[in-house]
Amino acid sequence: MEKSQERTLNDDTLLFAKESDTPVAENKNYFKLLIVDDENEIHVMTKLVLSDYVYKGAGLKFLSAFTGEDAKIMIKKNPDIACCLLDVVMETKDAGLDVARFIREDEKNTKLRIILRTGQPGQAPEKDIILNYDINDYKEKTELTDQKLFTTITTALRSYQHLEELEEKQREIQTKNIRLNEEIARRIVAESNLTKYNRSLEKMIESKSNRLKEALFLLETTKSELLKTRKVAIESKISTLSLDTVDTSTTIIESNLKKIDHYSQTMALLLEKYTLLENIITSNKGENPKEKVTKTIQRIEEYKTHMDFDTLIKNYPTIIRESAKGIEQISTAVSDIKLFVSINEEPFLPTDIRLLLEKNAVSHKPPPHKKIDIQLDLEKVPIVSLPARHMEKAVNALLKNAFQAIEYNGIVSISCQYLNPNIILCISDLGCGISNDDLFHIFKPYFTGTKKEGKGLGLTFARSVILNCNGDIKVTSSLNQGTTVRISLPVEETDPSLV
C-alpha cells in the first residue's frame, strides 16, 4: 500500500495517514464498526486501512468477532453498532447469513448497516442473498480495495446517520404526539368540565333570572301598591284635616247653639214678664195699676240685671256669625273631601296632552295688574289614557301657582316631550321661588307658606291626580329665581301613536 493518501468528498471527508506502529488515540466521537470474519488478517487489514478514517468529525471504534456466535454476543452488548463487515462463511457455510437474520429478526435492529464480505461467492450468490436477506451491500473480498472500502463504509455511515436522524425525529414526533395526546386529553377533560360548568352556570343563571323576574314582579306590585297607598294617604290626610275642621266647627256650633238656647229661654222669660206688664197696664181690675206697673217694671229690671241682658244683646250677633262661619267651614271641608274622592271616579280616556296644555295656556289669563308672557314648547307625544277633566284642573292649579309667584312682570313656560317610556311635562316660572324649608311642605294639604292667596290645596290636588295616573311630580325651586314643576306620565304599550 502507499505510505500516505488523502481524499476529500464534499462534506464527507476521508483521511489517510502514514502507516505507523503507534496506536492512534481513540476519539470520543466515533461510529462503532463491527468486523466479523474468521480470518485474523482481514481484521488487521481492515483496521489498518480505516485507522485514520473520519466522517463528519467522528472516527471509528473497531469491534471484532471471529465467529457468528461471537458476533451475536457482540451485537447484543452493543446495540449502537453503526456498521458490520460480515463474512458469510465462517464456522459454517452460512454463519454470516444467520447473523444477518439475527440482527433483523431477533434483535429488530434496522439501523445497523450490514455489508456482506465473502471470499467464496459461489456458496453465497449475490442475487439470492440480496433477495432473501435484509442486507445493505454485498462485496467480494477480492474487489474490496481500500478505495472501495472507504466508499462503502462512508455510504453505510451516511445511511446510518440518516436513520439515526430519522429515528430522532420519530422520537421527537412521538414525544410531541404523546404531549399532543396529553394536551388533547387535558382539553377534552377541560371541555367536559367547561361543559358541566356551563350547564351549571346556565342553571344558576336561569335560577337567578327566575328569581330576578319574581323580584321585578314583586317590585312592580309593590310600586303599584305604593302608588295606591300614596293616593290613599293624600285622600286620608285631606279627609283627616277636613274632618278636624268639621269637628272644630261642629264644637263651636254646638257651643253656640247651647248659648242660643239659653239666651232664648232667658229672653222668653223676659218676654213673658213684658207680656205680664202689658196685661197689667191694659187692665183696670185689681190693685192700683200704677203701683202694680211700678212693681212689675222693678222685677223686670232686676231680672235683666240677673240675666246680664246687655251682654246677651251684645254677644248674640257674634254667636250667629260664628255659627254661620262654622257651617260654611263644614260645607267647604265636605267639598274638599268630595273633590279628592272624585279623582278615582273619573274614567280614563285617550287624551291629547299637547292639546290639553294648549287649551289651559289659552284659557288661563293673568290678573290685570301683571304682565306675564306664556311660552309653549310642545313636542309630539303619544296619546295616553288619563282622567282628562281632573288633569286639566291639576294643570290649571299649577299655572295658577306659577302666575301667583310672579309679582309684576315675568315668564311662564310650558313644555312637553316624549322620553320613552314617559311623557315629561314641565311648568316653569321666573317668580319669587320657594325656600328650602317650605319646599319640604308644599304637598301637604292646606299649606300656603308665605302666599296670601288660595287655601293650599293646588299642589296637593295636582299630586293626587298625577299619582292616580301612576305618574310622578317633582318641584325644584330657588328663592328669587323661580320654580319648575316636572311631571312624568308613563305611556302604556297600547298607546304607541304620536299626535
112-149 per-residue burial string, b: 16 or more CB within 10 A, e: under 16: bbbbbbbeebeebeeeebeeebebbbbbeeeebebeeb
DSSP string, 124-191: S-HHHHHHHS--SEEEETTT--HHHHHHHHHHHHHHHHHHHHHHHHHHHHHHHHHHHHHHHHHHHHHH
Q: Residue ranges of the domains in the chain?
A: 6-144, 197-345, 346-490
Contacts of 266 (CB under 8 A, 6+ apart): 307, 312
Please report the pLDDT score of residue 10 as a whole number: 35
Three cell numbers, residue 172 = 421527537
Please report the pLDDT score of residue 98 as a whole number: 92
Contacts of 168 (CB under 8 A, 6+ apart): none
Please report the pLDDT score of residue 106 as a whole number: 92
Cα–Cα dist 88/493, whole Å: 103
Please report the pLDDT score of residue 467 as a whole number: 86
The third-level CATH classification (topology) of the domain covering 6-144 is: Rossmann fold (3.40.50)
For residue range 353-411, list pLDDT tens digits in order. 888 888 888 887 777 777 888 888 888 899 998 888 888 888 888 888 888 888 888 88
Please report the pLDDT score of residue 323 as a whole number: 66
Indicate yes or no: pTM above 0.85: no
For residue range 91-101, list pLDDT tens digits in order. 888 899 999 99
> What's the CATH code, domain 346-490?
3.30.565.10
How many C-beta atoms lie closer than 10 Å to residue 230's C-beta? 15
Equal fold, 6-144 vs 346-490: no
Ranges of residues in the chain whose predicted pLDDT is under 50: 1-27, 229, 233, 494-499
Please report the pLDDT score of residue 132 as a whole number: 81
Please report the pLDDT score of residue 369 as a whole number: 77
H or E element, residue 414: strand 409-419
Which residue type occupies 492?
E
Bridge partner residues of 55 (DSSP): 58
